[in-house]
Structure 1
Amino acid sequence: MLVRSDGCPVDPAGIGEFPRPPEEPFVLEEESAGHDWALWCRSRGILSCIVVPLLAGGRAVGSVGLASSARGTLRADDLRRLRLVSDLLGALRDYEGRLAGVQGLFDEINRALDRALAVDRAMRIPPTYRGLARAVGASLDATYCQIAVRDSADCLIIAGSGGRRPPRRRVAGASLPLAQLGRCAQAIRENRGVVVHYDHSDRLDEAERVAFLSPATRSVIILPFVAGARTQGVLLVGEERESRCPACGPERVAVLELVARRLGDILEMSRALERERLAVRRRERKFAIERQRLAREVHDEVGQSLTALLVRLRSLKAYEPAILEELQGLERMAQEAMNGARAVAYGIRQLGSQGDPLEEAHRFADTVLSAAHCRLSWLEERTDVRVPVRVAREIARVINESVTNIVRHARADAVRIHLAYPPGRIRVVIHDDGIGFSSDQATVAKDGRGLGLLGNTERLTRIGGIFDVCGSPEGGTSVLVEAPLALGMRLRA
């Protein structure tokens, strides 16, 4: 950088290139006529000049100086000031270099922790050793990385590799006793990172280099990790570039130790979550088996008993005409009880099902109504509208309850269920051709009648919807169910 004072006859545009930085401070004097800087100054009309080298790492990398077109204008104080400026510039250069190095380490650990080893991703998808090695290798500024795991036989085996050029395994799945891997054993024993540097022909027969590293590896950082009480291993970060070998300083080792600890934490967390998922699946299987057993018991024991009762009642009707009306009443009650038992058996089997609630309601209605010898007409206006799970679940339960009521009370021959999707809402109309419905039946009686209708009203109220039943003794019954698709909204009755 050139700074020109007012009135200076020297034109900075004509300065041209500077000579090489001097090894020692240079002062333009008569006896320095053959010096490179003296020749450069004379050719440009500079009569007074002081040049001080800018040092970095013990060698001159630049120069700083003062120049004048008048002789004798620079003094010894100017030389001291220039030495101070040179020292400050050198310190600034070193500081900027360290700052760039720290920024690089920060970027590297940020990529490793926030991208490759993100906790939320590990909670969603159980990671594998290979996947973790690839992700860590892609995030680190290194040639390759490998994950070696300690097995039950006290051996280390490579479980995953990643990076720009991961080493090719000479023997797939090969393992070596930890006792033969001195550096890895040291890292695990002392629980700290170990740095090893290699020359091209240095220690070619060393166990770690033969088993785990590439032949061109110039340095490797061995970092231990622990994943729970049963799993130990090391993360090997290898570097083949000569220019990157000095970067294996204590700061980078500390950063990579943090990455290795996060790797162990991710593995431990993932295994704990997987154990919990397995336990949940086992419990669900047990519940499913128990539901199926209960459904069989209800269907077989209760259903068979009611069927036998129906057969006996029908046989009595042929021999006892006097009590025909009473027997017909008993027959209807037994038939309703059997239909109800079938509905309960189906409901128990479907309990906990993970399918679409509305599809489950369709299957429930088809199964229960066919068992009661009642025709079902299910019409749904297909659209791309997505129904929230909570809304679909409550609507499905109301459909199930309404179908159960039809089987138990309506004595219907046909049922029509129509699903429509007006803007922002879902509407279900259920109509049967049974004996009808009066408003007196909507109240809750002491024997429990009417609780189902009250439950339906409460279900729809929770999701902001409406429930209505209307009918007459000669025209069947219609049920209207309507709810908003957006949770938090409420429809007006």
Structure 2
Amino acid sequence: MQSQTTQIAVLIAITTLIFLLMPLFLILYIRSYARHKKNHSLEKQHMQQKFESEILQARIEVQDQTMQTIATELHDNIGQLLSLTTLTLNSVNLNDSEKAEKKIGNSLTLINKSIKEIRELAKLLHGEQVVENGIGYALDQEITWLNKTGAYEIENNNGLIRVTERSPDKDLIILRLLQEIINNIIKHAQATAITFDAFYKEKVLHLNIKENGIGFDSEQATISKAGMGLNSIYKRIEMINGKLILNSSPNNGTIILIEIPYP
């Protein structure tokens, strides 16, 4: 009888303890959940701020790159066209009507070509209009400007890719990625030929670039992500949940494969 009473007392004690501990565990769980939720919210806010900061940086860099392109084009192309026009007009001899007419005709051709080039530059002066026309147009314009330098043998497979969906913020980062890659090729690769292959398939934007330059140790570069602007490129790829594969070796050129979920 006493043993049974003791068992009942122990059972009551355990039950009481459980009822006392349950609110405590519940309070601890609620506090833990609230803290986790707050940390998640702060982390999400931090990621959003980081993304917005990256967008702003990309926008500034795209604008800087645009200004450099315009300055180069004004100096090397339009400046040359206008100088030729001036020389041609200065050499006109009105006493020789036949030659004068021919030279004036040539001058008009040069002026019309200059006007056309200035109109193309005017498109770039609208800032983000290139991106507003779609990522396909933006990438194609960048390759076109590179081709106009005449420094490389350019192959642009698929031409202007058609992407019906839009993601302006992501487009800015993608455009800046291409600009950084092109700048790296110009500065370091010593290439003579560059092939661009861009296509859009199953909600993924593919951008492949191949050049025949001096190459480098891509395995070491991928591990360290240092030098030649690779750190910035990898950082931006991660920010838009993309994937980058780098294949290169000394004296064998470089192949860059990029896959980006889009939009």
Q: TM-score, normalised by structure 2?
A: 0.47
Q: Which has the higher contact order (CA 8 A, sep 6+)?
A: 2
When Rg is computed on C-alpha atoms for both structures, the one with the higher figure is: 1
| Higher share of residues assigned strand | 1
